[in-house]
Amino acid sequence: MGVAQLDQHGKLRHFLSTEGLPRAVLEEILNLADAFVETSGRAIKSVPLLRGRTIAMLFFESSTRTRSTFELAAKRLSADVLTLDVGASSAAKGETLLDTLRNLEAMHCDLFVVRHADSGAAQFFANHAREGVAVLNAGDGRHAHPTQAMLDIYTIRRHKGPDFGALRVVIVGDVLHSRVARSQIHALNTLHVGELRVAAPATLLPDAVEALGVRVFDDLDLALEDADVVIGLRLQKERMRGAYLPSESEYFQRYGLTTERLKRAKPDCIVMHPGPMNRGVEIASDLADGPHSVILEQVSNGIAVRMAVMALCLGRARQ
C-alpha cells in the first residue's frame, strides 16, 4: 500500500493498477480514448493539451511496444519527452530508485512512466513523488500493467459495444506470471463482464485464482465454447525458473490457439494478444494474422488509451 491513485475529488492522480478503481474512472478513460482515436486519424495527429509539460519514461526493464506507444502518446499530447533506458545507465552503477526519482524531479518532470521487473516499483515512485507529480505504471513485475489492460478493454468495447455484461471473455495461458492478466481480470470484473474464464495448466495459475472472480478451465476447448473474446497470453519464459511446462510443442497442443479450435467460439469472436507473440507456442500464425485477430489494432488503440491516462493524470486543476 501507499499513496492512493485517486485524489480527494476522486480524480486520477497516479495510474498504478486497475484494482480498486471505480467503474466511472475506467469508463472515463475509455470515453476519452475515443476522442484521441479521432485526433489520431487526422493528418496533424497531435493536440496542444500538455504543451510545456515534461514526461519522463523510466524503463528499468526492456520494452519496444509499450515504450514506443507511451512515447508517441506523450508526443501527440505535445509534452516534452525524456526517455531513459535506466537499465543501461544509473541503475547499473548502483544509483537507488529514490536518487533516480529525485534527480528527475530536479529536472522538473511532471509525470513518470515506470516499468520495472519488481512488483510495487511504480507504487514506490508514487509514494515518494512530489505533490503534483504523477506516476504511471507501465508494468511492474507480476503485479500490474494497467494501461495494457485498458487498451485491451478499449479494443473489446470498439468491437463488442459498451455492454460488458453480455460478453464471455476467455484468457488463455500463463496467468501466473502475467501482470496483464491480473489487470484485465480486475478491470473486467469492475465493468461487470458477463463471464470471465481462464484456461491454463494448473502450474501456470496463481493459487486461489478463482477468488479473483474467474472460472477456471483445464481444457481449452471447453473454455472456448461460445466465447466473444479470446485473449492469448505470452509464455513468460524469462520469468520462469524451474519446470512449469513439459515442452513448448506439448503446450501448443493443449493450449495453443488455432483456427480449428476457435470454431467453438462465436463466429464473430475476436482474438487478442498483448505481444510479443511466440508464434506456434501460444497462437498459430494463421490465426494471429487472420480475420478474427485484432492484435495490431490493440497496438494503435494503445496510443489513444495512454494519451487518455496521461491527460487525466496531468489535467487536474492546481490547487
Partner 1 sequence: MLDANASLKLLCEQVRSAWPAAERPVIVGIHTGGAWIAEHLRESLGVVAPISTLDIGFYRDDLSLSGFKGVSSSSLNESIDNREVLLVDDILHSGRTIRAALGALFDYGRPARVRLACLIARDGRELPIQADFIGAQITLERAAKLKLRGPDPLRLELL
C-alpha 216/C-alpha 124 separation (Å) is 32
Nearer to partner 1, 42 or 241 (CB): 42
End-to-end, the C-alpha distance of the chain in Å comes to: 25
- The tally of CA atoms less than 13 A away on the side-chain side of residue 233 is 27
Q: Give the residue carrying C-alpha cell 500464425.
A: 285
* 312 contributes a contact to partner 1 by CB under 8 A: yes
**Among 8, 24, 48, 247, interactor with partner 1 by CB under 8 A:** 48
Q: Report, in Å, the least distance between residue 15 CB and partner 1.
A: 14
Nearer to partner 1, 110 or 140 (CB): 110
Cα-flanking dihedrals φ and ψ of residue 251, to 5°? -60, -45
DSSP 3-state percent helix, strand, coil across the chain (nearest 5): 45, 15, 40
Q: Report, in Å, the least distance between residue 50 CB and partner 1.
A: 8
- Say if residues 136 and 158 touch (Cβ distance below 8 Å): no
* 28 contributes a contact to partner 1 by CB under 8 A: yes
C-alpha 150/C-alpha 307 separation (Å) is 12
* 35 contributes a contact to partner 1 by CB under 8 A: yes
* 130 contributes a contact to partner 1 by CB under 8 A: no
**Among 65, 128, 158, 316, interactor with partner 1 by CB under 8 A:** 316
C-alpha 209/C-alpha 130 separation (Å) is 36
* 94 contributes a contact to partner 1 by CB under 8 A: no
User: Segment near partner 1 (CB under 8 A), from 47-55, 99-107, 221-229, 280-288?
Assistant: 47-55
Residues forming the site for partner 1 (CB under 8 A)? 11, 28, 31-32, 34-35, 37-39, 42-44, 46-50, 311-312, 314-318
